[in-house]
Amino acid sequence: MVLSVLLAAPAWAADIPDIEDEQLVYCLSSSHRDNLASAAAALDPRLTAIGDRLAPQKSGTLSLEQWRAGDPAAFAKACRALTAAVPALKQEDPPNPLWNALSVVFTTLSGGLIALVAAEWRTAANAGVERAVRLGDLADDFFSAAGDYAEARSAGRPPSAQAFDTAHTALVRELDRVRRHRPQWPKVAAARRTVQERLSRQEADQGAEHVREPLEALRNDLSWIDGALRRPWIPFRKGG
């Protein structure tokens, strides 16, 4: 009589999938049996929970094992409902093939983009270092030639005009190259203006003391430019 009632389970129970082993162990453990019976009664109004047993209408009581044997689909539904709030026992949805494919494509593209950006960054960094080294070498030549020229004038000795002019012209040309590469850096224009206007041969003819301050100003500007050229992210800086 009891089993006949349970075998006449509602139609919705037939579609309930099997439960996992860990869910079964959880539901039939001694600490959760009462809760499973209550869940079963909540889902099927024909059942009444009495502790960890179930009482079908107009019948005796059933143990949870008897109920499961008579109506496995209803048992599975109640057990799944009971374990739904337990994260470790939730059944995960099957993976979405489209999402998996998109994830692979995204990972591949992002990896390629990162590699491209890294390569471009290294290229920019290397080019900046080369410019900084070249500018530094020409600046050293000019400081040496300008210092010697001005000191010679101060001491009344004949200076080397050719060495001064060669170093002066080379430094101006290199500053022009840097300015074309980084037109937004005012320091480059300031350094070029100092070389052209305040450190010309005519100015150096007035002696070492006369060119001391513009030489120091030029050193400061070139120091900033050197540091900026060695950093790829400097294009976004305006400079002082």
The pTM of this model reads 0.51
What is the set of domains in the chain, with CATH numbers?
A: 2-89 (no CATH), 98-236 (1.20.120)
Residue 157 DSSP one-character state: P
Contact at 8 Å (CB) between 204 and 211?
yes
pLDDT for the residue 137: 96
Residue 236 has pLDDT above 50, yes or no: no
pLDDT at 12: 38
pLDDT tens digits, residue range 167-176? Answer: 999 999 999 9
Contacts within 8 Å (CB) and 24+ apart, 168-171? 168/142, 168/195, 168/199, 168/200, 168/201, 170/138, 170/141, 170/142, 171/138, 171/139, 171/141, 171/142, 171/195
pLDDT for the residue numbered 115: 74
Q: pLDDT, tens digit, for every residue of 55-74?
A: 887 678 888 898 888 889 98
> At CA 37, angle to CA 72 and CA 89, rounded to 5?
70
The pLDDT value given to residue 144: 96
Q: With 50 as the cut, is the pLDDT of residue 6 above it?
A: no
Flag whether pLDDT at 222 surpasses 90.
Answer: yes
Residue 214: predicted pLDDT: 96
Cα–Cα distance between 80 and 27 in angstroms, integer?
A: 9
**Mean pLDDT along residues 86-95:** 60
Whether pLDDT at 90 is above 60: no
Tokens of 183: 């037109």
Query: 75 versus 87: which is more confidently predicted?
Result: 75
Give the pLDDT score at 234. Answer: 56
Instruction: Taking residues 70-89, report their average pLDDT.
Output: 82
Q: Which residues contact 221 (CB under 8 A, 6 or more apart)?
A: 187, 188, 190, 191, 194
**More confident of the two residues 40 and 142:** 142
Give the whole-angstrom CA distance, residue 125 versus residue 122: 5
pLDDT of residue 9 exceeding 50? no
For range 12-21, the mean pLDDT? 59
DSSP 50: E
At 88, the pLDDT band (50, 70, 90 cuts) reads: low
Q: Which residues contact 72 (CB under 8 A, 6 or more apart)?
A: none
pLDDT for the residue numbered 91: 52
Q: Mean pLDDT of all residues in the chain?
A: 82
